[in-house]
Amino acid sequence: MHEGLMLFARQGAELAPGVAELARGVAELANGVAELANGVAELANGVAELANRCRRGQTQRPDQQNQ
């Protein structure tokens, strides 16, 4: 029984660096997903702004008129 526990502990120690690397990869992926979500939100805001301008008959952004 004692040898089995030692083997289990040794295998766990061998796996630890891989598990840590996997955790870093998952965190990096989560950051990428958050960046993507922010980009999608910005795009949605831009589309909503464009739709509002189209409803009002504007062809340019207010800050670009009279140029």
Q: How confident is the model at residue 14 (pLDDT cuts 50, 70, 90)?
A: very high
Instruction: Please determine, for residue 61, whether its predicted confidence score (pLDDT) is greater than 70.
Output: no
Residue 53 buriedness (CB in 10 A; 0-12 / 13-18 / 19+): middle
Q: Which of 2-11, 40-49, 57-66 has the lowest average pLDDT?
A: 57-66
Start-to-end C-alpha separation, the chain: 83
Helices (DSSP H) in 1-67: which residue ranges?
2-56
Look up residue 31 and give its two tokens.
Answer: 């950051």
Look up residue 39 and give its two tokens.
Answer: 């980009």
Give per-residue pLDDT as tens, 44-55.
999 999 999 999
| pTM (two decimals) | 0.64
